[in-house]
């Protein structure tokens, strides 16, 4: 057995003191290098500062010390990125559920706004439709548990069917798979009056127990703000990135910056910013009318250091198509360049073999 094999064998016996499983099984040991009487082990922590950090350091050093008396052991601690943390959380809870284990989802994109009323849900739906038109296999996870609107916009009323493998999402006319709490209610007007833990549990079920199958993109409609629901998604679901939605008002820009800070703290990549309701077009002369004041998009994107994906107009046609459940029939030409940029951004942010884990 080589020295590196003996090192890995020893590390597999190091248990997480709170979870009771091997650090290797939990994906916490991300790299091992050895040579010239030295070994360097990289251990990824879910968060930079955790109470058991020193215990973990001592356990790793203690496990490697008996391998060779003169071996110099260096343990390097790093913080997990968002996808590593989501995988760790899943393993800590016993591993993927049967439905999740059978799913093959290439990219998960969350749509987040700082405050309500900026059109986050319509941007989610437009993004899903645009990706679907480009030939991608798309799903929508409606994580806005207390204010679900995706079924209404897509004209869906049928209840999801449960099976041995999990819950089957409902499909739109265009083939987009969708799961929302509103599809499980007896009446679409029924209020969901739940506290944070129940909301978080429902979101995790939509991820763990829904048979999404093979998807190129799963678009997640987050509730506004930085509450339990958004935190659950960023901790439990491996995100390819986050799209921020704002409107021209200073207030919306200020609050979306809070949402951006949350994404940054959770190590979730921000793919870009969309300014919704940026302007209206006069039906008589074609002039652009800044109904909510001058655009703040460039300023907000610069402040956050993220790309501006685009500005969307106030369009009565979009409102009509959403109200009658026919958003897939909406033209949406203004959104096509946004979807194209997003696909490019997701591809650019994908880790390569040279990047490592």
Q: Maximum distance among all alpha carbons in the chain?
A: 85
Which is more confident, 284 or 107? 107
Ordered domains of the chain (ranges, CATH): 3-79 (3.30.300.130), 91-349 (3.40.50.300)
The model's pLDDT over 130-165, given as tens digits with 9 standing for 90+, comes to 999 999 999 999 999 999 999 999 999 999 998 778
The percent of residues in the chain predicted with pLDDT above 70, rounded, is 98
The model's pLDDT over 333-348, given as tens digits with 9 standing for 90+, comes to 889 999 999 999 999 8
The whole-number pLDDT of residue 351 equals: 61
Which is more confident, 124 or 48? 124
Between CA 156 and CA 168 the distance in angstroms is 14
The whole-number pLDDT of residue 70 equals: 82
The whole-number pLDDT of residue 355 equals: 46
The whole-number pLDDT of residue 356 equals: 41
The model's pLDDT over 13-24, given as tens digits with 9 standing for 90+, comes to 999 999 999 999
**Whether residue 289 has pLDDT greater than 80:** yes
The whole-number pLDDT of residue 357 equals: 36
The whole-number pLDDT of residue 250 equals: 85
Quick one: three-class SS letters along 43-112? EEECCCCCCCHHHHHHHHHHHHCCCCCCCEEEEEEEECCHHHHHHHHHHHCCCCCHHHHHCEEEEEEEEE
CB 327 within 8 A of CB 125: yes
SS3 42: strand
The whole-number pLDDT of residue 94 equals: 82
Question: What are the structure tokens assigned to 4, written together?
Answer: 């590196």
The whole-number pLDDT of residue 36 equals: 84
Between CA 144 and CA 11 the distance in angstroms is 41
Integer CA distances (angstroms), 282 to 81, 119, 290, 296, 316, in order: 46, 21, 10, 21, 12
């Amino acid at each position: 057995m080589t020295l590196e094999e003996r090192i890995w064998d020893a590390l597999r016996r190091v248990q997480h003191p709170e979870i009771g499983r091997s650090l290797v099984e939990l994906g916490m040991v991300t790299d091992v290098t050895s040579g010239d009487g030295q070994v360097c082990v990289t251990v990824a922590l879910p968060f930079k500062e955790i109470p058991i950090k020193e215990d973990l350091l001592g356990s790793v050093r203690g496990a490697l010390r008996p391998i060779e008396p003169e071996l110099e052991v260096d343990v390097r601690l790093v913080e997990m990125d968002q996808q590593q943390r989501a995988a760790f959380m899943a393993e800590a809870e016993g591993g993927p559920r049967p439905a999740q284990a059978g799913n093959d989802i290439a990219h998960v994109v969350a749509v987040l706004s700082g405050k309500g009323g900026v059109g986050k849900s319509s941007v989610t739906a437009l993004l899903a439709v645009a990706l679907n038109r480009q030939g991608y296999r798309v799903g929508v996870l409606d994580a806005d548990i207390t204010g679900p609107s995706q079924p209404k916009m897509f004209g869906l009323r049928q209840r999801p069917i449960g099976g041995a493998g999990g819950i089957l999402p409902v499909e739109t006319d265009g083939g987009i798979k969708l799961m929302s709490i509103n599809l499980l209610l007896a009446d679409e007007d029924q209020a969901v009056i739940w506290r944070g833990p129940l909301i978080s549990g429902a979101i995790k079920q939509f991820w763990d127990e829904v048979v999404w199958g093979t998807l190129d993109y799963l678009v997640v409609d987050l509730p506004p703000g930085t509450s339990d629901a958004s935190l659950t998604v960023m901790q439990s679901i491996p995100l390819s990135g986050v799209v921020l939605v704002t409107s021209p008002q200073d207030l919306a820009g200020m609050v979306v910056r809070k949402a951006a800070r949350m994404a940054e703290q959770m190590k979730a990549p921000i793919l870009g910013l969309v300014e919704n309701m940026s302007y209206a077009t006069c039906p008589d002369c074609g002039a652009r009318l800044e109904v909510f004041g001058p655009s703040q998009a460039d300023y907000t994107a610069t402040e956050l250091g993220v790309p501006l994906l685009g500005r969307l107009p106030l369009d009565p046609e979009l409102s009509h198509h959403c109200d009658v459940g026919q958003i897939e029939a909406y033209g949406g030409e203004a959104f096509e360049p946004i979807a194209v940029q997003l696909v490019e951004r997701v591809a650019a942010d994908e880790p390569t073999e040279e990047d490592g884990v």
